[in-house]
Structure 1
């Protein structure tokens, strides 16, 4: 098991090692993992009342994490009052410019294949019409509750499915709003860490209420919101063992869920074991290929939730990140935080659209591929589909020099090489431990492209 104390630092999660991954025995789950590895690109979205602040989601509430999460708001020094102010953000959350069909269209045009949407973050605010708590988007205190799109999860999931995207329901196992987890008056007092305010071993009756509450919420999502492809579980400290043992009997609720949705994958991130069907690095890419299913969640901007002056990565940066991830055997979950009014930031939309334009031409080197030596060299990203190998040759900037002769470190036998996008055959010769290709004259004029993609036939 991962070390719980090192699991989260400044809100960024560590990730499980390959040795902690357990290969599922269920043939349906194994089949679905192959489907998962075909998808390559997800759109992740963190959205909730916290978006009004333009700050990191939820973490302000944890006193243990206050040193890094509270810096940009002039909060009162009375931490209990500060938490009341945070929890009251639902009373002003009114995203009247939310149009789920426009979100789905932007994702489709961007080449994304599945959505990871925050149904609930650690603060406990539910973005669906739950029956378990009034702290929800359809609660009477939330101004948006009477809007025709008020059940945000339903409308988002339906819109994305209509565009052919699969659905992953992001769900925090921790809940800092319910009294079953942070129970008033319990021994931890006014200084709260991210775990429960009591020891579940000493108060089993209260912990059982939390387990039932959590199971009921998960089953609402599994039974009332259509096909869910992945249950994406955050808050890895909520687990058996660790700093404070927090067994929510995840296996029981997953068994119930899979009776309804047998195709369901589970990403119980940072925990390892039978319910972490794939591994989830965050804001990082492993330094080598991983030979287990994995998905790296990386922001298009600088943070997961919306930021008022955020800077967004260019399409060139996104392609380079995507190709490094794919060449190392993973999927990429690119995160965008919607604005508090319900729109996607223009800077994010621009980068997504340009990424999609590149993928329309070069997507055959991405979707449905598997790893292929020499994987990723910094300049070249290699992927394979059947007997065809792809080399994506990356340019750092539009002013990079495009040479007529390009060397790539590929040593296997080769019959022909074509330029993806034109299907033009390229002259090549074997030199030492690699190949030298000759680009056509049409590729030597103007600015450097994001990448040249070569189709290598053996």
Structure 2
């Protein structure tokens, strides 16, 4: 009977895992199978090792677009894609729409902005690092910059009068005080810049609207502008641990930028997504999880809801899905960067805050199976995930949707047990009775523990 339960559980998990992570929107292809080039700088290597131990981070996409509750930046892109469709005022003609979109600057006033609330909620959820969109593809700078007036601190923006107008600095300070690693997302393309989308040649796609070889001076102005803005972030915002570049289609020589960044911020991790391997310190699958263990550092960025940016009617993933997502990623040697899009008033959606609180409850009991661990073979097998640290191994059981309670007996796929092996369930101190079988160990779980640990997103067996 026990074997039958185990086989049914394996089948249900296979179906669950196949359906767990669905793409919220069409994304660019992931190039994680390319050869990973490990950095040679010892400071970078040290920082990556520390980052890998943290496992769980917060991503935030925030900009003027939150006022309309639309996709971030992409509705400006003149491509016929599902995620570039225009909604909102003057959506008929592209030029009129772009003007209306950029006019959102004049009404952006998130007076409820309080990054300490975010930092505390993220910390309670067990998150350890943050990546914030300092500038997305639309070109609106969420930091104080002297190189464009299209920014949150410019006089055209109502929030510029607020003492906390430099939201990037405020966010970095608030999270830094909570010992988070600090990450700056920065879009290389800038769809507001006349030196990227030159209005003389209306854009046809996401790339620059002119031939850079024919107009080298214009392209040089744009790359200098990019360098200068990144330098502002590297010199005026305290310690920055991670520089997360997006927009690989704006291909440029990254060597001067990375050299400058590492001069100002020694050891900074650089992620030039889909760029040259030397500047991709870890790979970044988006809205999906690799099917198997990957030996190099990697991070998947996934939305808590369906969208990167704030939408009032967003549909948020259940807590069970989110916790199992984290466990799955960690067992495959990755980190999870979970996205929340703040709203136009500067607050998170109520449901997002509730989800973080529930994740935190699980993490406070089971976090030792996540932080500072390494996966061990077979990494992921059916409903099981395998991690370890210097003293213990953790076999995490990911229940199917219809599994609310642990059975009285469960086959745990531990193949190398001995008479000295001790097995516990995290959340309890009682040593569990087990017997060796052909396929592992059969663990007996007392009714009181079954009741105590009822309806958990993941159950973790600690083996010593």
TM-score normalised over the length of structure 1: 0.92
> Unaligned 5+ residue runs, structure 1?
1-7, 240-246
Separation in structure 2 between the aligned mates of residue 367 and residue 12 of structure 1, nearest angstrom: 29
Separation in structure 2 between the aligned mates of residue 11 and residue 315 of structure 1, nearest angstrom: 24
Which residue does the alignment assign to 2:283? 279
8 Å contact from structure 2 (residues 78, 84) kept in 1 = no
8 Å contact from structure 2 (residues 323, 457) kept in 1 = yes
- Match for residue 136 of structure 2 among 112, 116, 121: 121
Question: Alpha-carbon deviation of 1:314?
Answer: 2.2
Could you say what secondary structure the match of 2:301 adopts? strand
Matched, 1:417 2:454: no
Which residue does the alignment assign to 1:243? none
- Match for residue 456 of structure 1 among 449, 456, 463: 463
Separation in structure 1 between the aligned mates of residue 347 and residue 31 of structure 2, nearest angstrom: 34
Could you say what secondary structure the match of 2:146 adopts? coil
Matched, 1:426 2:432: yes
Could you say what secondary structure the match of 2:58 adopts? strand
Which residue does the alignment assign to 2:233? 221
Separation in structure 2 between the aligned mates of residue 318 and residue 198 of structure 1, nearest angstrom: 43
Separation in structure 1 between the aligned mates of residue 47 and residue 354 of structure 2, nearest angstrom: 32
Matched, 1:382 2:386: yes
Separation in structure 1 between the aligned mates of residue 24 and residue 448 of structure 2, nearest angstrom: 49
Which residue does the alignment assign to 1:82? 97
Which residue does the alignment assign to 1:5? none
Separation in structure 1 between the aligned mates of residue 391 and residue 124 of structure 2, nearest angstrom: 29
Which residue does the alignment assign to 2:54? 39
Question: Alpha-carbon deviation of 1:448?
Answer: 2.5
8 Å contact from structure 1 (residues 15, 269) kept in 2 = no
Separation in structure 2 between the aligned mates of residue 143 and residue 253 of structure 1, nearest angstrom: 32
- Match for residue 44 of structure 2 among 29, 42, 48: 29
Which residue does the alignment assign to 2:16? none
Could you say what secondary structure the match of 1:174 adopts? coil
Q: How many residues align?
A: 439
Which residue does the alignment assign to 2:210? 198
Distance change >3 Å, CA 166–CA 413, structure 1 → 2: same
Question: Alpha-carbon deviation of 1:406?
Answer: 1.0
Which residue does the alignment assign to 1:4? none
- Match for residue 316 of structure 1 among 320, 344, 349: 320
Separation in structure 1 between the aligned mates of residue 375 and residue 81 of structure 2, nearest angstrom: 41
- Match for residue 270 of structure 1 among 271, 274, 283: 274
- Match for residue 436 of structure 1 among 435, 442, 448: 442
CA shift digits 1:129-188 (9 cap, x unpaired): 0111000000111110000110000111100111111110000011000111111213xx
Which residue does the alignment assign to 1:142? 157
Distance change >3 Å, CA 18–CA 70, structure 1 → 2: closer
8 Å contact from structure 2 (residues 89, 100) kept in 1 = no
Which residue does the alignment assign to 2:176? 161
- Match for residue 249 of structure 2 among 216, 237, 242: 237
Which residue does the alignment assign to 1:333? 337
Question: Alpha-carbon deviation of 1:420?
Answer: 1.5
Question: Alpha-carbon deviation of 1:255?
Answer: 0.9
Question: Alpha-carbon deviation of 1:88?
Answer: 1.1
Q: 1:97-116, aligned counterparts within 5 Å?
A: 97-116=112-131
> Unaligned 5+ residue runs, structure 2?
1-22
Question: Alpha-carbon deviation of 1:444?
Answer: 2.3
8 Å contact from structure 1 (residues 427, 437) kept in 2 = yes
8 Å contact from structure 2 (residues 24, 306) kept in 1 = no
Question: Alpha-carbon deviation of 1:276?
Answer: 0.5
Matched, 1:171 2:171: no
8 Å contact from structure 1 (residues 282, 296) kept in 2 = yes
8 Å contact from structure 1 (residues 59, 66) kept in 2 = no
CA shift digits 1:189-222 (9 cap, x unpaired): 3x52101011212211111101100000001000
Could you say what secondary structure the match of 2:91 adopts? coil
Question: Alpha-carbon deviation of 1:75?
Answer: 4.2
Which residue does the alignment assign to 2:18? none
Distance change >3 Å, CA 76–CA 454, structure 1 → 2: closer
Distance change >3 Å, CA 272–CA 14, structure 1 → 2: farther
